[in-house]
Structures are given as structure tokens and as C-alpha cells.
Amino acid sequence: MTIGFEIIARDGAARAGRLITAHGVIETPVFMPIGTAATVKAMTPDGVAATGARLILGNTYHLMLRPGAERVAALGGLHKFMNWPHAILTDSGGFQVMSLAGLRTISEKGVAFRSHIDGSKHVLTPERSIGIQRLLGSDITMAFDECTPFPSERAAVEASMELSMRWAERSRRAFVARDGHGIFGIVQGGVHADLREKSAKTLMAIGFDGYAVGGLAIGEGQATTFAMTEATVPFLPEDRPRYLMGVGKPADLVGAVKRGIDMFDCVLPTRSGRTAQAFTRHGTLNLRNARHADDPAPLDADCRCPACAGFSRAYLHHLVKAGEILAAMLLTTHNLTYYADLMAKMREAIMAGTLAEFEAPP
């Protein structure tokens, strides 16, 4: 088999399931912490696992440039290299390459670009992207695609989507099937429902182990993100996992799960942890604010994380103001725990048939 996926409960469009990979079983809906450069920033692998995460995201573009996919493979693969025994999904690098305005040239073959690190020249094709992800040992490989900028004219969006579909077919052919490893296709089409339908149907005809909804959460707004998700999900297979890329805030996660999405990733909880923001069940806190300076309460009295179990808001405020690294470590741990617990509570609600009453956090 490649990767397995089983649905164990439904509540409306929402599903609770299990994703079965070479490095373990992941309960869905699931949020993936971002480990772009073979590390979740400000976290140890054991610390990430303690939040409840069993699937993280790495990135082809960054790892091919530094330290190099061949080097990682020679050192035993990404799991061993970063001491992470659980599952890894790798983004194809397409989004990062497309963001290199002025440093890349797109053709039918792929993308020629200059490294943002040292200006060196590289070419990333569907075949090379899939090959890099195999060298890394990814449990879940992503097809190489072009993430169309927003906003763009419809003609440009359609041409971009069609190119991504041709690259998807080449990505699928380049993927080497093996037990516990799979490849996901990525639906594109901008904010045009008919283009997303066409993209989804094309990917279905090619055949993938899972399907991602890409090209959203790039400035179009939550209402449009949800509308495009609703326009896409009906054309994806019921028995395969669905992944909404780059999402998002807690309210985004709740809304997307209610619309049938199983998987998510976003830099928000880790980036916020490094910029003094904490997500709680009662809203977001900015630990830079002076109002926390004398507050003996934890960030969230109902949270199980080390930051809440052992430290006060006053202490965290002090760490932030003093510029101490421990502030980023504790706040990132808290935020990832919060996200993991939010997903767990949604799984429980789906199992109980009460997701419709589940309220998005403030």
C-alpha cells in the first residue's frame, strides 16, 4: 500500500479519520507544525511531540539549498537527521520559488531561479522536486505546482492552473510508490469555482493518495477561502484525505473542518510564539503589553502545556521585555499545544455529532 486513510465518524461535511503512514498513524482533523528547515523553530523534537503533534511539514526548496537533499539522504534521511520519529509531509517548494519575484523564470520544464541565500542558479522541475522529497524520505510528498499570485486576471489564473495540472501528471509519474508513503495533488484555480472544479477533476483522473486545496490564504479573505473550499470539496474523493494549505487562524480551522477539510498547516502559531503572542481559549494575548507585568495568572488556566503549568503571565512578560530566548520557546510550546488541543476537541465533537455547535475561538 501507499498511505492509508480511514474515516471513523462524520458530522455533516466534517470527518474524523486516521491517516496511516510509514511513521505512524495520525488522527484527523490534524494541524501540522511547520518545520521548514528541518526544525520547528524554538522547539526540540521531543517538545513538538509533547504538544500532541505526530505530523510536521518540511520544505523542499529550503532543504535543497541548505543543507542539500543528497546530504540529508547520506545522513539517513530527514527523520533521522532531525531526530523526528513521526511522520513528515514536505511541501514541493513551488510556493517558495514562486515568491522569488525577479529571481525566477517559469517555463513548461519547471522553474529556473537564483537562491535567496547566495544567488546560485538552480532549476526545479516536477521530477526534481519529487526526487528531492524521496531523498528526504517524506511520508507525504506534494506534487510540484505554481501558486498563482492574488489578485490575478482570470486568463493568467487559468493558464497557471493548466500548467500546474501538467506538472501534477509529471509529478505523479516521477513518484516511486512504497509502503507508507504517498503523494498528494494540489487543486489550483484562484478564486474561480469553475477552474477549481476543472482542476479537481483533472487530479482525480490522474489519481493521487490525497488532495490539497492550494492557492488560498494568500490575501483573498476568509469568506472567499471558505467559498473556494466549498466549491472544491464536492469534486474530491470521499475516501481520501483533504488538505487546505497555509491555513490558518483558529476560526479558519474550525470553519474549514466544518466544510470537510482534514489537514492544515500554517506558520501562525510558531511565528506568533516568537513575536510575543499567545492563543488562548479566551482570545489572543500580546505578552508585550504592560498589563501583564504584575499578573500572576497563567496564560490559560485550562491549558496543559509547560508554559501554563509552571509560569505566570508576569514572568512571560518579563522574558519578552528582556529579549530572552525562553520567551519564544515557552510561547511556541503553548501555541502548538493550543492548536493540537483545538483539533482534538473538534475530533471529539465530530465523534459526538455536535460539531455544528462548536464555536470558533474569539
pLDDT digits (tens, 9 = 90+) for 308-336: 999 999 999 999 999 999 999 999 999 99
- Rounded to whole angstroms, the Cα distance separating 107 from 74 reads 31
Split into its structural domains, the chain has a count of 2
Q: Report pLDDT for 98.
A: 72
Assess whether pLDDT exceeds 70 at residue 231: yes
Q: Does residue 251 sit in the same domain as residue 303?
A: no
Please give the positions annotated as active site.
91, 265
Q: Report pLDDT for 122.
A: 92
1 falls in which pLDDT band (50, 70, 90)? low
Q: Report pLDDT for 56.
A: 98
Q: Does residue 167 sit in the same domain as residue 102?
A: yes
Q: Does residue 254 sit in the same domain as residue 280?
A: no
Q: Report pLDDT for 194.
A: 98
Mean pLDDT computed over 246-266: 97
Q: Report pLDDT for 148.
A: 87
Q: Does residue 184 sit in the same domain as residue 61?
A: yes
Q: Report pLDDT for 96.
A: 84
Residue 357 lies in a domain: no
Name the residue among 24, 28, 58 with its Cα closest to residue 41.
58
Strand partners for 264? 31, 244
Residue 70 per-residue DSSP state:
H
Mean pLDDT, the chain, whole residue set: 96
Q: Does residue 127 sit in the same domain as residue 226?
A: yes
Quick one: CA dihedral 232, 263, 41, 298, positive or negative? positive
CATH for 80: 3.20.20.105
Assess whether pLDDT exceeds 80 at residue 99: no
Q: Does residue 170 sit in the same domain as residue 306?
A: no
